[in-house]
Amino acid sequence: MLKIEIARSAYGRIILMDSITKVVDEDIDAVVVSASHGGVSSGEFALQIPLAAVFFNDAGVGKDRAGIAALDMLERRAVPAATVAHTSARIGDARDMWDNGVISHVNNAALKAGLRPGLRLQQALTDSLMTESR
């Protein structure tokens, strides 16, 4: 299971992880690109560690927006969070999210940080768009 620091941006260290369950104390203040779905259970893991931002796979969004529920959970703590479209990157494959992911949904904190649906995830993070919140 992949977990690697892939880059550094103006917003902090960018860590790819195939599963949000791999987030640990050493990841505090990192930008985490997790290939997990963005559901409630993923949101609970992401809230355990203070992260600079976190990204998930939208998993097709699902019934009652279950695949992106974590975005609202993280918004309550003003943590920028977004998902990539399940049609752009494989669920469970953080490298594919990094290489091919296209942002599909964002919370308000992510909007304030300059993220928008339709942006390629890697380009958005490495072009230092995420600067307003910090």
User: What pLDDT sits at residue 134?
Assistant: 38
SS3 93: coil
pTM, whole model, 2 decimals? 0.92
Dihedral over Cα of 8, 41, 120, 22: its sign: positive
Residue 17 has pLDDT above 90, yes or no: yes
Note whether residue 58 is domain-resident.
Answer: yes
C-alpha–C-alpha distance, residues 62 and 40, integer Å = 12
Note whether residue 134 is domain-resident.
Answer: no
Q: Which residue range(s) make up the domain with 114?
A: 3-126
Helix (H) or strand (E) holding 109: helix 108-112
> For 32-89, what is each residue's pLDDT tens digit?
999 999 999 999 999 999 999 999 999 999 999 999 999 999 999 999 999 999 999 9
Greater confidence (129 vs 72) lies with 72
Residue 91 has pLDDT above 50, yes or no: yes
* Of the listed ranges 1-10, 24-33, 36-45, 105-114, the one predicted with least confidence: 1-10
Q: How many domains does the chain have?
A: 1
Strand partners, 55: 33, 82
Residue 128 amino acid letter:
S
Note whether residue 62 is domain-resident.
Answer: yes
